[in-house]
Amino acid sequence: MVTGISMTGMASGMDTDEIVNELMQLERVPIQRMEFEKEEISTIQEQWQTVNQQLQGLKGSFDDLASRSIYNDMSASSTNEDAVSVSADSSADAGNYAINVEQLAQAHSVYGVKFESGSEPINSEENQETGVTISGDETFTIGFDGHDAEDHIEIDLSDIDKAADEITLRDIRSLINQQPDLEATATLVDNRLVINSDNTGEEFEMVFQDTEGSLLQDIGIIGDDNTMQAAQDAIFSINGLEGITSSTNQGISDVIDGVTIDLHSATESPANVSVGQDTEAIGERVQQFVEQYNEAQTFMHELGKEDGLLQGDGTLRRLQSSLRRNITNDVGLADNEFNNIQSLGIEIDDEGNMEFNPGDLETALREDPEAVENFFRARESDHGADGLARRMSSFVEEYVRFGGGRTGGILNRQDQNFDSQMDRIDRRIEQRMERMERREQTMQRQFARMETALNEIQAQGGWLQGQLQNLGLQQG
What would the DSSP string read from start to end of 308-353? Answer: STTTT-HHHHHHHHHHHHHHHS----TT-S--SGGGGTEEE-TTS-
Phi, then psi, of 220 in degrees rounded to 5: 90, 5
Give the span between the Cα atoms of 190 and 187, in whole angstroms.
10
Which three-class secondary structure state does DSSP give residue 58? helix
Mode of pairing for the β-strands spanning 184-189 and 192-200: antiparallel
**Total count of residues recorded for the chain:** 476
Q: In sequence order, what DSSP letters do the residues of 393-459 get, joined into one string?
A: HHHHHHHH---SGGGS-HHHHHHHHHHHHHHHHHHHHHHHHHHHHHHHHHHHHHHHHHHHHHHHHHH
Cβ atoms of 110 and 227 closer than 8 Å: yes
Residues 445, 446, 450, 451, CA torsion sign: negative
CB neighbours (10 Å) of residue 122? 25
Give Cα 93 to chain centroid, integer Å.
30
Q: Taking the model in full, what pTM does it have?
A: 0.70
End-to-end CA distance of the chain: 58
pLDDT in tens, the chain (476 residues): 444 444 455 445 566 677 777 777 887 888 889 889 999 999 999 999 999 999 999 999 999 999 999 999 999 999 999 999 999 999 999 999 999 999 999 999 999 999 999 999 999 999 999 999 999 999 999 999 978 888 899 999 999 999 999 999 999 999 999 999 999 999 999 999 999 999 999 999 999 999 999 999 999 999 988 999 999 999 999 999 999 999 999 999 999 999 999 999 999 999 999 999 999 999 999 999 999 999 999 999 999 998 888 998 999 999 999 999 999 999 988 888 899 999 999 999 888 899 999 999 999 999 999 999 999 999 988 888 999 999 999 999 999 987 666 678 899 899 999 999 999 999 988 888 888 788 877 777 777 777 677 777 777 776 777 667 777 666 65
Strands of 139-281, DSSP E: 139-144, 153-156, 184-189, 192-200, 206-212, 227-229, 234-238, 241-246, 259-263, 271-277
Q: Which residues contact 137 (CB under 8 A, 6 or more apart)?
A: 157, 158, 164, 212, 213
77 three-state secondary structure: strand
Q: Return the pLDDT at 7.
A: 45
Sequence-ordered alpha helix ranges (H) in 96-247: 169-177, 215-218
Task: Give residues with Cβ within 8 angstroms of 14, minimum separation 6.
Answer: 8
What distance in Å separates the CA atoms of residue 175 and residue 136, rounded to the nearest whole number? 13
| Cα–Cα distance list, 431 to 29, 158, 436 (Å) | 14, 91, 9
Distance from C-alpha of 184 to C-alpha of 160, rounded to nearest angstrom: 19
Are the CB atoms for 259 and 92 separated by under 8 Å?
Answer: yes
**Phi (first) and psi of residue 386, to 5 degrees:** -80, 145
Q: By the 8 A CB rule, do 235 and 243 touch?
A: yes
The pLDDT of residue 146 is: 77
